[in-house]
Structure 1
Amino acid sequence: MAKKSMVEREVKRQKLVDQYAARRTALKAIIEDQSKPMEERFKATMKLAKLPRNSSAVRLHNRCQLTGRPHAYYRKLKVSRIALRELGSLGQIPGLVKSSW
């Protein structure tokens, strides 16, 4: 089980990303538009830099929904390999059978 503070930090980051997503895309569109004057693009760059760092989607990290584990994460199921094995053993994932010999 991951530390609760780390899981909460990721939740906080996700909220910031959702909150600032529209603003960030608008500023990036201005920055990448070559037809705009250089001063306007520079101002947009400065505004983008003033936004919180954690509002960038790049700073998000995938974590298991059940345990919060950051490593060995299956994107399709949103769980770690350990949680996947436990759920498979309990028969909670359709079509998954844990092999044993």
Structure 2
Amino acid sequence: MARKSLIQRENKRQKLEQKYHWIRRSSKNEIKKVSSVSEKWKIHGKLQSSPRNSAPTRLHRRCFSTGRSRAHYRDFGRSGYILREMVYACLLPGATRSSW
């Protein structure tokens, strides 16, 4: 299970991303519309002044039950480790166990 501090940090990043989402989107659209370079630099400076953690690329998907960030399956919202346990417990219909 992931440390609680990492999960809290990720939640904080999600809140910041939601807060600054429209500001980032509008400033990026303004950059596309403006033709002069000096105005683009001003808008870019405004975009850079927002917090670094508000960027959507800094977010990580985490397992819903354990908080693990690696081996995450988007379709299920779980990590591979938890999916494997669920298959062994017959909690996922249609999934088969692999045996060599």
Work out whether the TM-score is over 0.5: yes
What count of residue pairs does the alignment treat as equivalent?
Answer: 100
Match of 1:72 in 2: 71
Match of 2:32 in 1: 32
Q: Render the CA deviation track for 1:51-84: whole Å, top value 9, x for unaligned.
A: 0101000001121111111111111111111110
Q: TM-score under structure 2 normalisation?
A: 0.89
User: Pairwise mapping of residues 54-93 of structure 1 onto structure 2 (< 5 A)?
Assistant: 54-93=53-92
Question: Identical aligned pairs, as a percentage?
Answer: 44
What amino acid sits opposite 2:29 in the alignment?
Answer: A
Match of 1:9 in 2: 9
Q: Render the CA deviation track for 1:1-32: whole Å, top value 9, x for unaligned.
A: 01011011111111111111111011111123
Where structure 2 has 5 or more consecutive residues not aligned to the other structure, the ranges are none
What amino acid sits opposite 1:22 in the alignment?
Answer: W
Segments of 4+ in structure 1 off by > 6 A?
none
| Coordinate RMSD, CA, aligned | 1.5
Q: Distance in 2 between matches of 1:97 and 1:90?
A: 11
Where structure 1 has 5 or more consecutive residues not aligned to the other structure, the ranges are none
